[in-house]
Amino acid sequence: MNNENDFDYAVVVAGNMQVVKQRFLDNEKQKKTKMNKQKDSDYAFKIAIIGNTSSGKSSLMKRFTEDIFNETFVPTIGVDFKTHSLTLDNETVNLNIWDTSGQEKYENIVHAYCNVVHGCIFLFDLTDHQTFQDVQKWLDKFKQSTQNEVKYILVGNKADLIEQRTVSFEEASNLAKKLDMQYIEISAKLNQNIDNCFIQLTQDLIQQHLKQNQQHKLEEKKDSFQLKSTAAIKNSFKFW
């Protein structure tokens, strides 16, 4: 540590990690008590929202989980999270949503969390072209931080500010195609397409989960077949 600023920063980061950890433990405790009362969710996924500062990540999370919107900008420190459930085709999906800070000084904390998420929303501001140009940078960094198979969606926010828009639908959907993601435009302010954004990503996650399960079962079958045939060969040797 070189100076007082570094020390202050380390204290803030350590404090923030402690708060996040405590909230996570409280949440786990709550979930355990709830489990006795109600049926477990059919699926549970962790989803991170990533993008430049002020693109509306916290607003998206708050609109989806609490249905509130705040006009004032309060920068997120490190990582914040909330849980919310969805019902899709009679199945309950528990979503653990991680709202990350876009500020560079928190990058290390943010990327420590990337390694545990199943899905990721890359959010940009439709009225700020730089936030769109930076999506590729966020994706590259994200990929460096995870070995998991993650599902992504590209999301353009602030669709209500039609006059100030600097990113066209065509431009954004071309990038999404190139990056092999779905694309959707939302307004956290007017509550437009908020649920759809999470539903689209969740459907992808369920499909991937089912595919992986199927693959797993096939491999198990293959293994048990191999075991049986090895045993059969051994027995035939005994006979001779």
Ligand X SMILES: Nc1nc2c(ncn2[C@@H]2O[C@H](COP(=O)(O)OP(=O)(O)O)[C@@H](O)[C@H]2O)c(=O)[nH]1
Question: What residues make contact with Mg ion under the rule CB under 5 A?
Answer: 57-58, 76
Q: Which is nearer to ligand X, 127 or 200 (CB)?
A: 127
Q: Which is nearer to ligand X, 41 or 59 (CB)?
A: 59
Among residues 56, 78, 119, 156, which is the contact residue for ligand X, using CB under 6 A? 56
Beta bridge partners of 86: 93
| x/- map, 130-159, ligand X, by CB under 6 A | ---------------------------xx-
Q: Which amino acid is at 168?
A: S
CB of 53 or CB of 83, closer to ligand X: 53
Among 135, 151, 143, 121, CA closest to 58:
121
Q: How far apart are CA 60 and CA 39, in angstroms?
A: 28
Applying CB under 6 A, which of residues 46, 57, 118, 151 lies at the interface with ligand X? 57
Residue nearer to Mg ion on the CB measure, 103 or 191:
103
Q: Which residues are 154's β-sheet partners?
A: 122, 183
Q: Which does 41 bind (CB under 5 to 8 A by kind): ligand X, Mg ion, none?
A: none
- Of these partners, Mg ion, ligand X, none, which one is at the site of residue 54 (CB under 5 to 8 Å by kind)? ligand X
Report the C-alpha dihedral over residues 60, 43, 85, 187, rounded to 10 degrees: 20
Instruction: Reduce the DSSP state of residue 150 to 3 states and report it.
Output: coil
163 forms part of the interface with ligand X (CB under 6 A): no
Q: How near is the Cβ of 212 to ligand X at its closest, in Å?
A: 31
Residue with tokens 């491999």: 219
Residue choice 16, 41, 58, 65 for contact with ligand X (CB under 6 A): 58
Out of ligand X, Mg ion, none, what residue 144 binds, judged by CB under 5 to 8 A for its kind, is none
Dist CA 188 CA 63 (whole Å): 6
Give the full edge-to-edge strand order of the sheet including 43-50: 79-88, 91-100, 43-50, 119-125, 151-157, 182-185
Residues 2-31 that bind ligand X (CB under 6 A): none
Residue 178 CB neighbours (<10 A): 9
From 47-55, 79-87, 145-153, 213-221, span contacting ligand X (CB under 6 A): 47-55
Distances (CA, A) of 126 to 100, 114, 123, 129, 166: 19, 24, 9, 7, 6
Instruction: Decide which of Mg ion, ligand X, none touches 157; Cβ closer than 5 to 8 Å per partner kind.
Output: ligand X
**Residue 131 binds which one of ligand X, Mg ion, none, with CB within 5 to 8 A depending on kind?**
none
Output the CA–CA distances (angstroms, integers) from residue 141 to 37, 108, 136, 201, in the order listed.
41, 11, 9, 20
Interface residues toward ligand X, by CB under 6 A: 53-59, 70-73, 76, 102, 157-158, 160-161, 187-189
